[in-house]
Amino acid sequence: MTDARTRLLARRAELTGDLERIEDQLDDPAPKDWEDRASERQGDEVLESLGQHDRDEIRAIDAAIARIDNGTYGICGKCGEAISPERLEAVPTAALCRTCARGE
């Protein structure tokens, strides 16, 4: 689990850095030209969407780290079976086994 924790913490740090850069860009003053302002607003919407995605991923990472800490990492939160190592390798934040994630 230490390897998973290390990978999750590294990804969390990367996302936190991304969020800081996004917030800095969103805080830039708006251009005075109307056309430039409209174009920048579209860019801001994209940045806001990326920021939301990053915040969602950080929440999933925090939940996975909590599962590591309480000893439930790798155990499906729905059926209680083990989550395959391959799934955890591909999706380290997975809280459900493949079967439960598919809704089967």
pLDDT one digit per residue (tens) for the chain, 104 residues: 679 999 999 999 999 998 888 777 766 666 666 666 666 667 667 777 787 889 999 999 999 999 999 999 999 999 999 999 999 999 999 999 999 999 86
Give pLDDT, residue 26.
67
Same domain membership, residue 87 and residue 69: no
Same domain membership, residue 43 and residue 61: yes
Same domain membership, residue 24 and residue 14: yes
As a whole number of angstroms, the distance between CA 59 and CA 36 comes to 34
Which residue do the tokens 């850069």 mark?
A: 21
Same domain membership, residue 103 and residue 83: yes
Same domain membership, residue 89 and residue 39: no
The pTM is what?
0.76
- The domain total for the chain is 2
As a whole number of angstroms, the distance between CA 43 and CA 35 comes to 13
Burial of 64 (0-12, 13-18, 19+ CB in 10 A): buried
Give pLDDT, residue 1.
62
Instruction: Judge contact between 71 and 1, C-beta under 8 A.
Output: no
Same domain membership, residue 79 and residue 56: no
Give pLDDT, residue 23.
79
Q: Identify the domain containing residue 93 by its residue range.
A: 75-104
Partnered with residue 82 across adjacent β-strands are: 75
